[in-house]
Structure 1
Amino acid sequence: MPTQIMRQYMLRRGDEVLATTGHDHRNRVVVVDVQKINGDDPAAAARRPDFGSLIASYPERKLKLETGRPAKGGPELTRRAIDLIAPIGYGQRALIVAPARAGKTMLLQAIVEGVAINHPQAALLILLVDERPEEVSEMITWGYGEVVASSFDMPAVRHTDVTEMVLERARRLVELGKDVVIVLDSITRMARAYNTVERGTGRTLSGGLDSSAMAKPKAFFGSARSVAPEHGGGSLSIIATALVETGSRMDDVIFEEFKGTGNCEIKLDRSLSEKRIFPAIDVATSGTRREDKLFRPDQLEHVYTLRRGLQQMPS
């Protein structure tokens, strides 16, 4: 892509470009003319806002997950429970706090299926970082959304490159007023990759985490936002998993860095999953900030009553 054309059409990283190509004097394939940018007229690219200037607000449109049909990845009850206990809206920054063997993968698959079925207009991106190859294959064969993955047999720089590519693509779509949902597994391993790749400052936190390694992972998670209609509309929802109780001090530090940065938290309880109770959601510690914007007033009172009853039940 010649620099002149990039400047002429104000192209940004993550743009999808339809162009005609030719050959330069060295017989290399180069872009000659741009026909479409992100499926639209090239002139529209010059009028779009910059993602950083979009004003974030609390989500007001609910990302309903319950489908009313049997689920492939676990019971339909999983999606119903999320809708009532920790509802997710367009533009949510949701953190799934998951110890090992607590049903994390099953929960993610239920969320992905609910988004794909109920909200087909939203661009669904599934980002798997440093995961097992068989889990990557399983998610691809699942058939929902666009899966972008870098398994654990890939170098750390590949993990970070894939992460940044997905984020920039999502930002370009939001600039056009579209709704994007990123499901990330996991933000812990993403931070580990940046800790390996980023040039350190020389200051090391507890657990061996460099003090500068969290900057880009936090920028990724912080990109989730709901944009008000008067500012162009659109939203970027990020639903990410954070690994806890792994025995790694670094993982604990990473979780503490992200704790409180989201506006929705779903905590899984291993003791429930060991009893084969799914979804293993800890009702007392899970919830959504400003959830009143996602429920009607008459619904909200019933939801509060339900939660009080669930919290009083013996574990």
Structure 2
Amino acid sequence: MPEIPFVAEEVVEEPIDEAASGKSLQEAKNRWIELKRMGMKELINRGLELGLPEPRLLRKQALVFSILEKETGDEANIYAEGVLEVMDEGYGFLRSPDHSYVAGPDDVYVSATQIKRFGLITGDTISGMVRAPKENEKYFALLRIQKVNGDLLEKCRDRVSFDNLTPLHPDVAFNMEYDPGEISTRIMNLFTPVGRGQRGLIVAPPRAGKTILLQHIANAIVKNHPESRLMVLLIDERP
């Protein structure tokens, strides 16, 4: 059973008003990005300049938060960003890509109230302002949400669950016949028609002509459907 974090629920549930925050929010974000781009040696030196105790023992994200806390003051908000993982107990954490999204002591705590109110789910990329842990607390806590998946919070509230979305199946077919002398695309039209929005896989033994067939398909789309945008990626193949 995972350890339940001791974090007070003193969080501000309203999203950030960027017009009101304005300059201070952007400055906090820019400073966070600047520190994240630094190497550990630079961060350690900065920590020593600020008088942090044993900065060499901290992981990168914890060191970044400690530097921001020291630079801005205990009462100031600190910008952070991460990918949400919701726990079975209802609360969650922002995991860092710097540590391959693995749980760590420097993750940001997200309250169950925030997750429920704003409809947050595992996998959401969340940015916002956090505060340093208070006495007897273990984690930084998310105070205000700025954006979810790069969009404003209002869009997140209105989204429909993936399981409840209406699937749209292909209903318009590509005409694969473009050359009277090419039989393979004629056979595709008869037995394996390809619809717009459909994914396909060509399975055949080595040297059976898979790449040539793919070339014929591309030629047919270019000739018969000029309104389509064709993109071809050849991996380990001669152009």
For normalisation by structure 1, the TM-score amounts to 0.24
For normalisation by structure 2, the TM-score amounts to 0.31
Higher RCO (CA-CA < 8 Å; seq separation 6+): 1
